[in-house]
Amino acid sequence: METVPAITASELAARLGLRLRGNGNRQIAAAAALDDAGPDDLTFISSPKYFEAGLDSAAGCFIASTDFPAASDRTVIESAQPRAHFAQALALLYPAAPLHAGIHPTAVIHPSVSIDPTTEIGPFVTIGSGAVIGARVRVGASTAIGSDSAIGDDSLLHASVSIYGRVRIGKRALIHSGAVIGADGFGFELSGAAYRKVPQVGRVEIGDDVEIGANSCIDRAALGTTVIGDGTKLDNMVHIGHNCRIGKHVLIVAQTGLAGGVSVGDYAVIGGQVGVGDKARIESKAVIGSGAGILSSKIVHAGEPVWGTPARPLRHYLRQLATLSRLAKRRSAPEA
């Protein structure tokens, strides 16, 4: 990302569609955390518990709620959602580097590939036969795109991404380095005294506005399709097994693994280091706490967070922890 010349607080407020309080001519050159911000920096205050720290901060401009205390020397952009508007401001202060359309001379591209002329192909990229690359796509150095795959408009593939054959990726995808999409699912059958590989001949389909973190893996289906819905965000080092069906706007945090055939409903949230057994079903808007274990074929219902291994409603999990704590205290108490 590149920084842009400093803009005034009033200009930034106007671009965010928000009301400004204080000195509209104050210059904003960068963004910073509340404790580190200086006179030329923008920061945000998400909660009243940080008001005191905000008043002590040297930040030049704040994005904060309307009840942030007024002060003559404070420039405040008022927002009902400070964190969300701060994220928008970051995109304005640190825009993406300009697109440089063209194909690097070291790229190896099959003659049958269709590449929009507005696309940027970096050094040492390889693209297999029949692939289709949409408009304004950026493909980073040493990325490999397999045969008969498709990358939607305005997508960004960072360096060293591996896209196997027969993978479809929607528009505005953001795929970080080391991600592998379309590798074989883990399918083996015991035949006599040895395991034999079950050919994985399915596909992967990824919707629009999906982000896939560094070193994450999405396996192709054994038969049929592994699906990632629109707007879903995968953190780093997430594994999605073969034939999983992930809904729209799902959040999956780092080091989580889903076995084959798992379904996840829209807007579900899955914490870090969660393990999900094969053919489990996670309903829409369900919440799974970090480190939980979901047994095979288990149904996680929406409406109450689950935690622990095996996962159970959070209130039950906390009650069990309290009971175990009381038992431990009784056992360690000295005898009368």
Q: Which of 125-134, 157-166, 270-279, 319-328 has the lowest mean pLDDT?
A: 319-328
Pick the CATH number of 102-314 from 2.160.10.10, 3.40.50.300, 3.40.50.800, 1.20.120.1200: 2.160.10.10
Q: Please name the residue ranges forming H helices in the chain.
A: 9-16, 51-56, 82-93, 314-332
CATH topology assigned to domain 7-93:
3.40.1390
Predicted local confidence at residue 335, as pLDDT: 60
Report the 10 Å Cβ neighbour count for 160.
Answer: 18
Q: Quote the tokens at residue 332.
A: 């360690």
List of long-range contacts for 294-301, beta carbons under 8 Å, 24+ apart: 296/259
Is 151 strand, coil or helix?
A: strand
Tell me the per-residue pLDDT of 198-256, one tens digit each, with 9 for 90 and over. Answer: 999 999 999 999 999 999 999 999 999 999 999 999 999 999 999 999 999 999 999 99
pLDDT at 79 over 70: yes
Q: Alpha carbon of 19 to those of 10, 27, 50, 54, 74: distances in Å?
A: 9, 17, 21, 19, 14
Lowest mean pLDDT among 19-33, 64-78, 222-236: 64-78
Q: pTM for this structure?
A: 0.87
In this predicted model, what pLDDT tens digit does every residue of 254-283 receive, in sequence order?
999 999 999 999 999 999 999 999 999 999
Is the distance from CB of 19 to CB of 77 less than 8 angstroms?
Answer: yes
To the query of whether residue 242 is one of the catalytic residues in this protein, the response is: yes
Q: Residue 147: its pLDDT value, please? A: 98
User: How far apart are the C-alpha atoms of 221 and 211, rounded to whole Å?
Assistant: 20
Taking CA 320 as the corner, what is the angle to CA 314 and CA 322, rounded to the nearest 5 degrees? 105
CB neighbour list of residue 69: distance below 8 Å, 6 or more residues apart:
51, 55
Active-site choice (158, 242, 249, 316): 242
pLDDT at 2 over 70: no
| Domain assignments of the chain as residue spans, ordered by start | 7-93, 102-314
Report the share of the chain in percent with pLDDT over 70: 96
Nearest residue to 43 via CA among 305, 56, 189, 156: 56
Rg over alpha carbons for the chain, rounded to the nearest Å, is 25
Determine the pLDDT at residue 43: 95
